Structure 1
């Protein structure tokens, strides 16, 4: 859905101080939801329960990677007035674009599977509703969130930001309950180390889940015509303010992920419990702290799943329109993406196994988002003054090799 663009000159003329920043806040919060989906819950809880605070530094590193990747995506939209799939359509042959579209749709379905099942699992754990009926309720609520679009993206941004705030609140309460050791937290953040091959593989899982293909595609679409400028100076100023939006959103997402690991370390690892299943985690919260703690955990899982699934649906629309210039009603798209998780739950597939399956599919899609992003943001004729600097380009390629390599490693591990 397109909205009327705001000219930067209008903002500069009519707003002063912190009010000048407000129009730029929002897009990164929608993209950041991808970094707190149910897959992150599973990885962080496992890492904290098995290795304590040791892998906190990996989450910090992952967040810095996300900051760079999402800033490049936002920058592409600002500089070109187009999103990543649209730029790809103009620069790649038609068969390549159709391939990118098809794999993108498969990635969206896999993403939606993980997030949908996570939300349904949250309902199941909190209210004791069977997974299938919880999945149907999740589907209905996800339509309500998408309805916010009809009021404009600003309403959707406010809705998503509000949901993220509830997740922050839930884990703030959990931190209060578990009373983690501050010295161990600091040591885990700033003293990189591993403890055997398994800890390296788990770290690979945390970093590998950092770059979500659909978030890259979507972010460039959210910034492409939100606020426009005519001069090089105006475009630089727009990116400067949008980067602040990204910084705030990634900081919040990073803190949530750190809190997940810290809570698991303080509660489970300290008692010698290795928890690698979200259902088991819920019941352990109930057993070790009480029903209120379990409720906050289940609620956070539910909210994260719902908000993430809505973002996945939006991303699918951007991918289809961009790569092949075709579109279907977004509610029809929502119905299509609801069918796979309903079938999986209906056939009695274990929710955690389904989450693992979705991560396998996601591993295939990462390279097809991050490599074109780096290529296009490094082209002077496309980006103008916002083109990647040498150090940005170098870091981006290092990250691309690292993330794609780690995902291939995890893929190999899961299959063999």
Structure 2
């Protein structure tokens, strides 16, 4: 559930555009961003383990009333802003896969949110299983796409470990990638998720729990890193190929969640768009 914030349609769109504009040159931004995310997420988990309260409860206990109200308003705005790409991305996926109008897809996305919230009544483990399944579907789709376009491993590794900003829009695209990785509400989520586990009320038990949660977060964010690398690599390979038509080259200049299905359409035909649509639906 923690890695979901780094695999949402907002990340998907910024990854696609970064790959189209700079090929593999901005992969290092994803790597650094997720390393820092791991540090912050582990601090959030440790807070829940040691205090027995999640971040929102600690803020309520420690801060004055005016600051609590400001934090609450900021949290609401952050959640709304983060949810917009999810809802729109899900609607685009329904339109791509089933030709459902976008406005109906938005309503379906809202209904699915209520169903997911209702699923919590049957225990957080069932919700975690469903989320893990969605992450697996999304990862599978993009790894399939990556295996088809076959980006050069040497260039991908070079982009991952050698920081550089080449091109007029490189700085803006790097900021967009980092912005898509900054998910403040994920800290509230993580500090609450650890409370669903049984932690021994001893120093050794808490230390062990903090270590295990760090390992768990590391695995989750490593999966998120691999998926983000696959998305950027697919976009970078397809949009920088020498045989692109003028129409496809124009689309690469302004990729959106709705228009990105063409990336594999030329390779796999209709099935390429379906693979992308399934990944976008799982992401949304």
- Asked if TM exceeds 0.5, the reply is yes
Where does 1:184-263 land on structure 2 (aligned, <5 Å)? 184-263=155-234
Q: Does the 8 Å contact 2:238/2:263 carry over to 1?
A: no
Equivalent of 1:162 in 133, 147, 151: 133
TM-score (norm 1): 0.64
CA distance in 2, matches of 1:32, 1:212: 11
CA distance in 2, matches of 1:41, 1:251: 16
Aligned partner of 1:296 in structure 2 is: 275
Q: Does the 8 Å contact 1:227/1:238 carry over to 2?
A: no
Deviation at 1:95, TM superposition (A): 1.3
CA distance in 2, matches of 1:96, 1:60: 33
Equivalent of 2:259 in 273, 280, 283: 280
CA distance in 2, matches of 1:171, 1:283: 14
Deviation at 1:139, TM superposition (A): 2.4
Two-structure CA RMSD over aligned residues (Å): 1.5
Gaps of 5+ in 2: none
Aligned partner of 1:74 in structure 2 is: 45
Q: Does the 8 Å contact 2:19/2:232 carry over to 1?
A: yes
CA distance in 2, matches of 1:173, 1:129: 25
Q: Does the 8 Å contact 1:52/1:270 carry over to 2?
A: no
Q: Secondary structure at the match of 1:222?
A: helix
Deviation at 1:225, TM superposition (A): 5.0
Q: Does the 8 Å contact 1:70/1:219 carry over to 2?
A: yes
Give the 4+ runs in structure 1 shifted more than 3 A: none
Aligned partner of 1:119 in structure 2 is: 90
Where does 1:321-360 land on structure 2 (aligned, <5 Å)? none
Deviation at 1:44, TM superposition (A): 0.5
Q: Does the 8 Å contact 2:145/2:264 carry over to 1?
A: no
Aligned partner of 1:39 in structure 2 is: 10
Deviation at 1:283, TM superposition (A): 2.9
Q: What CA deviation, in whole Å up to 9, does each residue of 1:280-335 have, x standing for no partner?
A: 21134323432112111111111111xxxxxxxxxxxxxxxxxxxxxxxxxxxxxx
